[in-house]
């Protein structure tokens, strides 16, 4: 199989030089078309980074000039930090993008594809093993592009062949037009060995291409070395670039795991330090900066005198339903742009006592340490174009949840409000949106007794690419990169590469026996393709449809994956907390207030029953 992939790559390279096909009917610049049918674009000649994607992406042909290695051009990058990050990626010597990068197929126009005709008419073959990995993908149409999203990571460092088969039609019933340039490639017969290996002939295939996935990414140590380099560079431009070791995908869980190993030491420090205990007794949570844990441990071990406020931010905990305490409590984590007090809307319908803390850079948690001068709120600094910092923000949030559970189980907090600390028998978790993303990872490394993940997701870049709500689309706009250009495709692959060590697709819990997933049909913030990636990681292959939610007859309070809504009646992203459908103008015509209210009531009742049984 490796030889087959090599043949195809050489074929594509042969046809990837010369002028452009932009004046031909298959060129990607055709924004609208007089054709009443759709088809495929295959333009291997135009590769300007600002141009619309003209050949399937990712693609080994795009790396032809760098001998098959991913090399990011830093010559025109003026931002020092961005340039350093790209240089670090170059030094990884990888032959492709993240194994979670979406596959993008350019089309002639935006006439919708008939989804039923596409089902069963595409193949993803691992050329290194010969295995069929088609079931790791799901698809969506995005205007003039078909996109196939991994809902299970592809194998790292492997070469793949993607084949789109004859029989795909548009919604008018017209067969897709095959691209002329690709047809000329086929005539040389270099694809025939792959076709034969999967029992196909040339006549069966509309389009085929190969790509390779990265076998490693940047580690936390690499990112730390880059940060130190940038600090030194400010005063000394001759600072040598640091050694980049990389992080193998086989060891990807060890990156956050190396931080998580400190949670017991930190919990011990809290329990045995009077100043820290004093804050805890007042209902504060000690949020230790995860990037300073190693430094803190060294100072504690050496007996050195230091200011603890250089390493910790004390953030207030919200306590709710304290009067109902009977040995069980749940931790609540809000979503992007939210705050811990949002859980107040749930207190009547979910009767258990709750403790809630803010995500980093949200609510009262506006800086990472008490003595820090860098302050930022309302979630504006949690997810930004600084993807490396985004990764540490997720690590920080997960570590906080881990430590909070430890401190609760150690009997350090007064849960019922009677003035005495309590030691709960059961600790549950409820996370919404970003809180479900961070919570899914916490559930893997921590030990919550039950877990509810509401409107969460995995494969983080699929959220950025498919979301329609301004909450997420503004993140893309901030990069200044136009969607569905080559620059955009590279951005997706690079961002996901860096985020992979913090992505639930690798780190989320796999214990489906104690996990309840709730998703909103038509979610425009964390779309259903991302919900599916998380569900498959947890261990759920299919969801239970809650097409007509009824608060008086809620879904079963059993572990599982539940989808609220249907094609005619969507449910908006924040439905568990509020029913303000006007906040989702992109779903206008699909949201009915009464239906959303019913979904909210049914979902809340399901959670209450799940925690209570």
Percentage of the chain surpassing pLDDT 70? 93
CATH number at residue 192: 2.60.40.1220
Residue that terminates a domain, selected from 187, 216, 245: 216
Shared domain for 191 and 286, answered yes or no, is no
pLDDT tens readout for residues 310-347: 999 999 999 999 999 999 999 999 999 999 999 999 99
**Of 553, 559, 546, residue with least CA distance to 520:** 546
Give the separation between CA 454 and CA 534, rounded to whole angstroms.
Answer: 11
Residues 173 and 295 in one domain: no
Q: Which residues contact 34 (CB under 8 A, 6 or more apart)?
A: none
Of residues 110, 102, 98, 208, the one with CA closest to residue 147? 102
Q: Residue 152: inside a domain, yes or no? A: yes
Residues 283 and 169 in one domain: no
Whole domain around residue 176: which residue ranges? 2-216
Whole-number Å distance between alpha carbons of 591 and 182: 43
Average pLDDT over residues 585-597: 98
Domain-terminating residue out of 165, 189, 216: 216
- 25/428 Cα distance (integer angstroms): 58
Instruction: Look at residue 22 in the predicted model and tell me its pLDDT.
Output: 31
- 205 lies in the same domain as 348: no
Residue 183 lies in a domain: yes
Answer whether residue 230 is part of any domain.
no
Structure tokens at 165: 């088969």
The total number of structural domains that make up the chain = 2
pLDDT average, residue stretch 284-299: 97
Say whether 184 sits in a helix, a strand or coil. helix
Q: Please report the pLDDT score of residue 5 as a whole number.
A: 38
Alpha-carbon span 527 to 521, nearest angstrom = 8
Confidence of residue 28 (pLDDT cuts 50, 70, 90): very low
* 125 within 8 A of 195, measured Cβ to Cβ: no
Q: Are residues 289 and 423 in the same domain?
A: yes
Per the domain annotation, does 396 fall within a domain?
Answer: yes
> How high is the pLDDT of residue 45?
66
DSSP string, 288-312: E-GGGHHHHHHHHHHT----GGGTE
In a domain, 552, yes or no: yes
- Judge if 527 and 422 occupy the same domain: yes
Of the residues 216, 231, 265, which one is the last residue of a structural domain?
216
Of the ranges 48-52, 439-443, 527-531, which one carries the lowest mean pLDDT score? 48-52
Asked whether residue 188 is domain-assigned, the answer is yes
CATH number of the domain where residue 284 is located: 3.40.50.1820
Mean pLDDT of the region 430-445:
99
Render pLDDT for 121-148 as a digit per residue (tens, 0 to 9).
999 999 999 999 999 999 999 999 999 9
* Residue 114 φ/ψ, nearest 5 degrees: -80, 110
Q: What pLDDT, in 10s, does the model give residues 198-216? A: 999 999 999 999 999 999 9
Q: What secondary structure letter does DSSP report for 484?
A: T
Q: Supply the pLDDT for residue 193.
A: 87
In this model, does residue 13 exceed pLDDT 90?
A: no
| Mean pLDDT calculated for residue range 116-122 | 96
Identify the helix (H) or strand (E) that includes residue 354.
strand 354-356
Same domain, 8 and 74: yes
The per-residue pLDDT for 338 is 98
Asked if 210 and 261 sit in the same domain, the reply is no
- State whether 167 and 260 are in the same domain: no
**Residue 93 counted as domain residue:** yes
How high is the pLDDT of residue 389?
A: 94
Residue 16 predicted with pLDDT over 60: no
Considering the domain architecture, whether residues 446 and 387 belong to the same structural domain is answered as: yes
- Which pairing describes strands 247-248 and 216-217: parallel, antiparallel, or unpaired? antiparallel
**The pLDDT of residue 170:** 95
Residue 29 has pLDDT above 50, yes or no: no
The model's confidence at residue 477, banded by pLDDT at 50, 70 and 90, is: confident
Which range, of 35-39, 130-134, 355-359, 549-553, averages the lowest pLDDT?
35-39
> Where do the H-state alpha helices sit in 326-484?
387-409, 434-445, 460-466, 470-479
Lowest mean pLDDT among 22-26, 297-301, 570-574: 22-26
228 in any annotated domain: no
What pLDDT shows up at residue 597?
A: 99
Report the C-alpha gap between 226 and 87 in whole angstroms.
Answer: 10
Residues 180 and 287 in one domain: no
pTM confidence score? 0.93
Q: Which pLDDT tens digit goes with each residue over 61-78?
A: 899 899 999 999 999 889
């Amino acid at each position: 199989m490796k030889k087959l992939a090599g043949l195809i790559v050489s074929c594509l390279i042969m046809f990837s030089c010369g002028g452009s096909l932009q004046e031909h009917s298959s060129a990607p610049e055709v924004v609208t078309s007089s054709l009443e049918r759709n088809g495929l674009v295959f333009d291997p000649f135009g590769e300007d980074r600002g141009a619309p994607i003209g050949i399937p992406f990712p693609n080994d042909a795009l790396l032809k000039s760098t001998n098959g290695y991913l090399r990011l051009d830093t010559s025109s990058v003026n931002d020092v930090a961005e340039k350093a990050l790209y240089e670090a990626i170059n030094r990884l010597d990888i032959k492709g993008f993240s194994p979670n990068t979406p596959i993008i197929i350019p089309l002639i126009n935006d006439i919708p594809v008939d989804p039923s005709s596409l089902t069963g008419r595409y193949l993803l073959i691992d050329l290194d093993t010969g295995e069929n990995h088609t079931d790791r993908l799901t698809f969506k149409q995005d205007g003039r592009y078909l996109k196939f999203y991994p809902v299970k990571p592809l194998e790292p460092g492997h070469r793949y062949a993607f084949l789109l088969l004859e029989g795909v039609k548009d919604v008018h019933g017209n067969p897709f037009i095959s691209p002329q340039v690709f047809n000329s490639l086929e005539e040389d017969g270099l694809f025939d060995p792959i076709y034969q290996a999967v029992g196909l002939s040339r006549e069966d295939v509309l389009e085929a291409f190969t790509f390779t996935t990265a076998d490693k990414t940047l580690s936390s140590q690499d990112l730390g070395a880059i940060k130190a380099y940038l600090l030194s560079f400010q005063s000394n431009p001759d600072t040598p670039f640091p050694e980049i070791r990389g992080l193998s995908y086989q060891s990807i869980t060890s990156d956050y795991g190396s931080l998580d190993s400190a949670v017991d030491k930190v919990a011990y420090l809290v329990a045995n330090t009077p100043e820290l205990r004093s804050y805890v007794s007042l209902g504060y949570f000690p949020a230790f900066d995860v990037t300073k844990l190693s430094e803190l441990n060294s100072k504690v071990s050496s007996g050195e005198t230091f200011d603890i406020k250089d390493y910790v931010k004390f953030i207030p905990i919200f306590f709710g339903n304290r009067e109902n305490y009977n040995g069980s409590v749940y931790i609540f984590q809000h979503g992007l742009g939210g705050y811990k007090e949002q859980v107040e809307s749930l207190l009547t319908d979910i009767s258990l006592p709750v403790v809630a803390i803010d995500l980093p850079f949200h609510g009262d948690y506006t800086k990472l340490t008490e003595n820090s001068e860098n302050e930022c709120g309302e979630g504006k600094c949690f997810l930004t174009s600084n993807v490396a910092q985004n990764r540490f923000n997720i690590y920080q949030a997960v570590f906080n949840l881990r430590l909070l559970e430890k401190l609760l189980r150690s009997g350090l907090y007064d849960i019922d409000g009677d003035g005495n600390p309590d030691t709960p028998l059961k600790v549950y978790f409820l996370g919404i949106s970003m809180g479900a993303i961070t919570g899914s990872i916490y559930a893997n490394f921590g030990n919550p007794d039950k877990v509810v993940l509401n409107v969460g997701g995995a494969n983080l870049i699929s959220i950025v690419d498919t979301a329609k709500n301004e909450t997420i689309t503004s993140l893309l706009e901030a990069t200044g990169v136009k969607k569905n250009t080559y620059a955009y495709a590279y951005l997706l692959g690079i961002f996901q590469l860096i985020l992979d060590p913090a992505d639930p697709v690798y780190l989320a819990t796999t214990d489906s026996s104690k996990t309840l997933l709730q998703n909103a049909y038509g979610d425009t913030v964390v779309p259903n393709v991302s919900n599916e990636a998380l569900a498959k990681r947890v261990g759920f292959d299919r969801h239970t449809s809650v097409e007509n939610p009824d608060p008086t007859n809620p879904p079963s309070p059993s572990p599982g994956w539940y989808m609220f809504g249907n094609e005619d009646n969507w449910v908006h992203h924040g439905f568990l907390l509020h029913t303000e459908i006007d906040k989702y103008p992109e779903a206008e015509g699909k949201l009915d207030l009464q239906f959303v209210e019913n979904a909210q009531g049914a979902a809340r009742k399901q959670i209450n029953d799940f925690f209570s049984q």
